[in-house]
Amino acid sequence: MKTQVIFAVATFLLAGCTSDKPGAFERVDEDPASNTVQYRFNPKTVDKTALEIDLAHYCSARGFDRVEPLPAQDSHLPGLKKAWYQCNYALKG
């Protein structure tokens, strides 16, 4: 019972983390081998423009000029989503 209460309180506190940050999103993981980065966000309050700007800066700093989203998934934290994005090069013809 005590463990359940601690887990519930921790989940509640963590769920609020993204809402306190500007844009209501946060970068939570990276995989340099596949040029991907993962964000967690609240789909109801996320500032998509700010997220896209952050992604563009992230990829640009690594020498890429294109960002491709991968399908969003439910986060382990209630009410939040998480999504991976891949940095790529634009094809030039």
Total domains present in the chain: 1
Is the confidence at residue 1, as pLDDT, over 90? no
Instruction: Provide the whole-model pTM.
Output: 0.73
Domain-located, residue 38: yes
The reply to whether 93 falls in a domain is no
Q: Exposed e or buried b for every residue in 26-63, given b needs 16+ CB within 10 A?
A: beeeeeeeebebbbbbbeeebeeeebeebbeebbeeee
Q: Is the pLDDT of residue 5 over 50?
A: no
- Which residue range forms the structural domain that includes residue 58? 2-88
Q: pLDDT by residue (tens digit) across 20-69?
A: 566 789 999 999 999 999 999 999 999 999 999 999 999 999 999 999 99
Residue 75 lies in a domain: yes
pLDDT in the model for residue 81:
93
Q: Residue 25 in contact with residue 39, Cβ under 8 Å?
A: yes
